[in-house]
Amino acid sequence: MMRHSSTHPVPVQASVAKRSNGNAGGFLASLARSRETTLFVVLILLIAGTGLAKPQFLNLQNLRDVLLNVSIISLLTAGMTVVILMRHIDLSVGSTVGISAYTVGSLYVAFPHMPVIVALLAGLAIGLVAGGINALLVAVGRVPSLVATLSTLYIFRGADYAWVHGGQINATSLPDAFSRLATGAFLGIPTLALIAVVVLAGLSVYLKQFRGGREHYAIGSNPEAARLAGVNVERRMMAGFLLSGAIAGFAGALWLARFGTVDASTAKGIELQVVAAAVVGSVAITGGVGTILGATLGALVLGVISIALVVLHVSPFWEQAIEGALIVAAIAADTLLARSVAKRMMRKRDHG
């Protein structure tokens, strides 16, 4: 039985997130916290800087747009985080969102009075099927996740195109109760954002407080050590991909509520934005390190940049260029941090 993921021999990067004993553990923990603090400061500076350049940026409509756009991206980023923690990746989330959104829309065309909860559960079920296919390929078939999910990205999208066949679902086909998921608000906060907060909070608690969540970190830190400690690696990997797929399917239903009109190209390419948000949010691509809070802050930073560039009348090309630069900067920072901590621990061991 696994007692705690921190009892495993883990690489330096995982120590930043998990070790808490001794001076080195406290130093590493403070570094992990500072990365999220840095992201928060960057977010505030982005908002303040854009507001100074264009005062109209700081209005309630732009704030609402940021929250609505980031709500879906942050959900997808959270699901991606669980997978990346285990040294894997899920590139099929965009296609899963697309086919889920169109399927839920088609259900509303066929059953106009379908309850909202049934629509959301239908999206979640579609995502579970997609995630299950990825899970079988990676955990059972031993196909590298990059290859497996790149394949299912095209398979799901191709199936979507074959089914849609040039058609689309319009907002007029959706009931008002479903559309209010995106248009409604509670105490001034969009309902869609509140839904995202609840899901993100639940997932964060799962990763921090439950054994299953800690096992994701253990696998990413050292798969062999996790296996020796009694972790069923294949089962936990399957759970991670199922969770990522379910969240993507659920996000697809919310995407339909947000935009109303969907077709076969819905959410095409969004997987790259999701990976960018996770990496910028300090989720180590090498596994074992990352939090839902950090990933959400990464999504917020990219979302604010996107809106800011529109307000400042900057070419959309720069959004992709900035995202790429932020990914490189985040990976470089993780590498430098890992080397610095490794040298520090080696010196301490030598002196000890």
One-letter identity of residue 177: A
User: Is 54 a domain residue?
Assistant: no
User: Is 51 a domain residue?
Assistant: no
Average pLDDT over residues 245-268: 95
What is the band of 13 on the pLDDT scale with cuts at 50, 70, 90? very low
User: Is 180 a domain residue?
Assistant: yes
* pLDDT tens by residue, 128-175: 999 999 999 999 999 999 999 999 999 999 999 999 988 899 999 999
User: Is 220 a domain residue?
Assistant: yes
Average pLDDT over residues 7-22: 42
User: Is 342 a domain residue?
Assistant: yes
Query: pTM score, two decimals?
Result: 0.84
Q: In this predicted structure, what is the pLDDT of residue 24?
A: 46
Distance CA 341, CA 348 (A): 10
User: Is 52 a domain residue?
Assistant: no
Could you write out the DSSP letters of every residue in 127-156? Answer: HHHHHHHHHIIIIIS---HHHHHHHHHHHH
User: Is 3 a domain residue?
Assistant: no
Structural domains of the chain, count: 1
- From residue 260, alpha-carbon distances to 112, 135, 256 in Å are 14, 31, 5
Q: What residues make up the domain containing 271?
A: 21-46+59-309+317-347
Q: What CATH number is given to the structural domain containing 134? A: 1.10.3470
User: Is 9 a domain residue?
Assistant: no
* pLDDT tens by residue, 90-101: 999 999 999 999
What is the band of 295 on the pLDDT scale with cuts at 50, 70, 90? very high
From 127-131, 175-179, 331-335, the region with the lowest mean pLDDT = 331-335
Distance CA 232, CA 219 (A): 10
Residue 262 pairs in a beta bridge with 169
